[in-house]
Amino acid sequence: MIRLYDTLAREKRPFVPLNPERITMYVCGPTVYGRAHIGNARPPVVFDTLARLIRHEFGANSLVYARNVTDVDDKIIASAAEEGVEPSVITERYERLYLGDMRALGVPPPDIAPHATGEIAPMIALIERLVGLGNAYEAEGHVLFSVPSDPDYGVLSRRDREQLIAGARVEVAPYKRDPADFVLWKPSPDGVIGWDSPWGRGRPGWHIECSAMIKAHLGETIDIHGGGLDLIFPHHENEIAQSRCAHAGAPLARFWVHNGFVDMGAEKMSKSLGNIVTPAELLARGHRGETLRLALLSAHYRQPLPWTEALVEQSKAILDRLYRAAGDAPAGGIDSEVVDALSDDLNTPAALGRLHAIDDPAVLKASAGLLGLLSDTADNWFRGGADEAAVETRIAERAEAKKSRDFATADRIREELKAEGIILEDGPAGTTWRRE
Ligand SMILES: [Zn+2]
């Protein structure tokens, strides 16, 4: 029996899916305008591990896992304007790089990856519905959600009204009836990406995106909604309000699962603080994706994870030991204590600890696999060569550099890979590689 801590209930509860043959999980995905940092990589690794556990418990085809791509956003628009390109140039570039980084961390693409720009019609339909029900209103080309129209608003973050207004960091805008109201739709001036709507040409706000995509792809009520702690307010609070009001009170998610931050020194790792380290940099320095994955799973997902160079070194040493113990055994059965540890609110530190006590190499290989570890051959691991996913990530980066005519970077990546014994060959169908 899997037990998960539910942020809404404030307690660990047995995870009993609505339909065990179609378990639904949605995790808020990246806004694609820059490289992911290690803090951004924690939710995809945590929820990939949860997905592996659910598939182990309920069957390989039991789970539908959706992670969205936010590809329309003010930061994307600003960065496209800065480069003098269409927003799609920015979003396609960073989505490719994101998927490459995730592959290196052993995170396969989710089952469904809806893109905001491909889902405008369901968003407009949801907004129209909220307007019709009196939960939203139009003002000066904007459509806003009326927070006072929802008596249950604040249920997830449990903030009182003063905290809501302060915490929302809401811009004071003359068209708002209430300072806590938030934007569902906003106007796009000429030259800015936009779509026709009943309220004029414009674009969606961020929160409505997830509510509309969840309804379109997974249903009105899903089993698990996940994301980082920082999304509880306002993002998830707003998702809940929109969806519940539009769907006659049906809850949006049965379990709200949130991961803690990755810290650098005393602070949360964040782009705005400028204290970030990216998987791309760490891979370029020769660390393996699996080492970074183990480091990200070394603390319980709800706890803060202090990121240090020592943590990375320690994770590498642990993997060396595990690869030595597993050798080249084929994967066997999975150890029940590893499953029990993960089933207890995804207790990865306990599961990792248990791996050391397993003396059957085949069981060790399979049990580590449940955490997405020991995916390489021992031979390749100890040869010290870059792992395949990391090479692919570096090749994707080099292709982007060439595209933006940054040949110095492209050459540097070729040389770095050569130093690791990887030879690149450019051909008409792209770049292939071989080991020296
Ligand atoms: Zn979301």
> Which pLDDT tens digit goes with each residue over 16-69?
999 999 999 999 999 999 999 999 999 999 999 999 999 999 999 999 999 999
Output the CA 355–ligand 1 centroid distance in Å. 34
Q: C-alpha distances in angstroms, 347 versus 5, 241, 335?
A: 11, 31, 15
pLDDT, mean of residues 165-176: 73
How big is the CA angle at 414 (ends 82 and 92), to the nearest 5 degrees?
A: 35
Write out pLDDT tens, residues 77-128: 999 999 999 999 999 999 999 999 999 999 999 999 999 999 999 999 999 9
Does position 171 have pLDDT exceeding 80, yes or no? no
Output the CA 406–ligand 1 centroid distance in Å. 34
Q: How far is residue 361's CA from residue 173's CA, in Å, rounded to a whole number?
A: 63
Residue 383 three-state SS: helix
Output the CA 311–ligand 1 centroid distance in Å. 30
Contact 346, 50 (CB under 8 A): yes
Q: Tell me the angle at which helices 87-104 and 38-58 cross, rounded to the nearest 10 degrees.
A: 60
Predicted confidence band at 300 (pLDDT cuts at 50, 70, 90)?
very high
**Which contiguous run of DSSP H or E holds residue 78?**
helix 74-83
Output the CA 26–ligand 1 centroid distance in Å. 8
SS (H, E, C) 135-193: CEEEECCEEEECHHHCCCCCCCCCCCHHHHHHHCCCCCCCCCCCCCCEEEEEECCCCCC
Residues 4, 294, 299, 369: what is their CA dihedral angle, to the nearest 10 degrees? 30
Q: How far is residue 169's CA from residue 176's CA, in Å, rounded to a whole number?
A: 14
Output the CA 210–ligand 1 centroid distance in Å. 5
Output the CA 212–ligand 1 centroid distance in Å. 10
Q: How far is residue 221's CA from residue 244's CA, in Å, rounded to a whole number?
A: 9
Output the CA 23–ligand 1 centroid distance in Å. 18
| Ramachandran area for residue 339 (φ above 0: left; ψ -120 to 50: alpha; else beta) | alpha
Residue with tokens 């959706």: 66
Contact 358, 352 (CB under 8 A): no
Output the CA 287–ligand 1 centroid distance in Å. 31
Output the CA 225–ligand 1 centroid distance in Å. 9
Output the CA 385–ligand 1 centroid distance in Å. 38
Check residue 391 and give its pLDDT. 82
Output the CA 227–ligand 1 centroid distance in Å. 8
Tokens of 139: 């003002």
Output the CA 106–ligand 1 centroid distance in Å. 23
Residue with tokens 């113990």: 325
Predicted confidence band at 170 (pLDDT cuts at 50, 70, 90)?
low
Q: How far is residue 197's CA from residue 257's CA, in Å, rounded to a whole number?
A: 34
Check residue 388 and give its pLDDT. 73
Cβ-based burial of 179 (10 A; exposed 0-12, middle 13-18, buried ≥19): middle
Output the CA 339–ligand 1 centroid distance in Å. 29
Output the CA 114–ligand 1 centroid distance in Å. 12
Classify residue 85 by its DSSP letter: S
Q: C-alpha distances in angstroms, 201 versus 142, 168, 187, 194, 399?
A: 10, 26, 6, 6, 35
Q: How far is residue 31's CA from residue 197's CA, in Å, rounded to a whole number?
A: 23
Write out pLDDT tens, residues 347-367: 999 999 999 999 999 999 999
Residue 403 three-state SS: helix
Q: How far is residue 201's CA from residue 384's CA, in Å, rounded to a whole number?
A: 54
pTM of the model: 0.91
Output the CA 239–ligand 1 centroid distance in Å. 7
Output the CA 162–ligand 1 centroid distance in Å. 24
Q: How far is residue 7's CA from residue 129's CA, in Å, rounded to a whole number?
A: 28
Output the CA 140–ligand 1 centroid distance in Å. 26
Percentage with pLDDT > 70 across the chain: 98
Residue with tokens 């414009």: 202
